[in-house]
Amino acid sequence: MNTAVAVAEKSIPQTTLELPENLLSIRASSRAWNGVTVHLTEFDCNGAVVHRLDHEDQTRLSVILEEVGQHAEPRFSRDRPCPIAYMPKHMLFAPAGLEIWGYSEDARYVKDATLTFDVEKLSERLGVCFDSAVLTTPQIRFVDSRVWSLVELLAKAVGSKDPSIQLYGDSLTAALASCLLMKPNSPTGVGCGLSPRQLRSAIDYMNANLPNHVPLADLAALSGLSQWHFCRAFKASTGMAPYQWQLKERIRRSQILLMDTCSSIELVSEATGFSDAAHFVRTFRKLVGATPSVWRKSHQT
């Protein structure tokens, strides 16, 4: 079973670890899906900072999500400035074994997302072969709006306790691999939807397991497809990604509870797998267009 790795969090103050000059403290958390680990790191700084970036032994993608102070830049060596001018939402892709440094002339705060790729595991789970030329070619300060958006969504998902986050993260990592690790216009196999039997098996399985975590690997195995191809075929059949279908079904079940019971919003949110009532209310309003309380009143007979 392919389950998301639990969130790991740590705080590294300057008093417990020798940090580079002017780097005051580090806060880190991480989560993994499909052989892709998302490392979120927040740096508190006070002045010029230069340090060797982590995860050098792995293929990785680094994105600065937020920064206060002078713009940080990636470098191939400590004392050699980046040869490419700053661009908004720039990213760094580095093959395993390549040394990369980070530098800022005057940093105050930096929030970074670094994604490390277990290429063999990711290839096996998605059922695709990645382009070796892409995997071995560094890209420094490159811009790709879709890749950046996918990283931002994954970063926001790291701390989530919502059951749908399993399918959500699986789907995002599959999409990211398609954008980042394959040649443009690479053949992706399945171009049509699931058969009626495959679709019914997948939906029955998700229904039977609601509101619990459902790994994309389980759904793909039921259909006899790779995760990659299942995602594409499911969306072709239903018009939505598996995690979107699961989330909408949880909201549909919450509507039944709101209509047929006197349960509080807190109990309904718990019964449908939301981490708390506030999360349930936000999601319900986004998908339905009204808060649960307002919707319940309008549907009372």
Residue 34 near residue 8, CB atoms below 8 Å: no
Fold agreement between 5-144 and 187-301: no
H or E element at residue 31: strand 23-33
What's the longest Cα–Cα distance across the chain? 72
Band (95; pLDDT cuts 50, 70, 90): very high
Q: How far is CA 290 from CA 9, 78, 270, 281, in A?
A: 35, 53, 19, 9
Cβ neighbourhood burial of 253 (10 Å; 0-12, 13-18, 19+): middle
pLDDT tens-digit profile of 213-268? Answer: 888 989 999 999 888 889 889 988 888 889 889 999 999 999 999 999 999 999 99
Architecture of domain 187-301: Orthogonal Bundle (1.10)
Residue 118 has pLDDT above 90, yes or no: yes
- The rounded distance, in Å, linking the Cα atoms of 57 and 149 is 25
Cβ neighbourhood burial of 108 (10 Å; 0-12, 13-18, 19+): middle
The dihedral formed by the CA atoms of 69, 70, 74 and 77, expressed in degrees to the nearest 10: -110
What angle in degrees, to the nearest 10, is found between the helix axes of 145-157 and 165-180? 150
pLDDT tens-digit profile of 146-204? Answer: 999 999 999 999 999 888 898 999 999 999 998 898 765 555 444 578 998 999 999 99
Residue 64 near residue 103, CB atoms below 8 Å: no
Around Cβ 169, how many Cβ atoms within 10 Å?
26
Residue 128 near residue 81, CB atoms below 8 Å: no
What is the fold of 5-144? Jelly Rolls (2.60.120)
Q: Which residue has the higher pLDDT, 301 or 191?
A: 301
Q: Please state the domain extents for the chain.
A: 5-144, 187-301
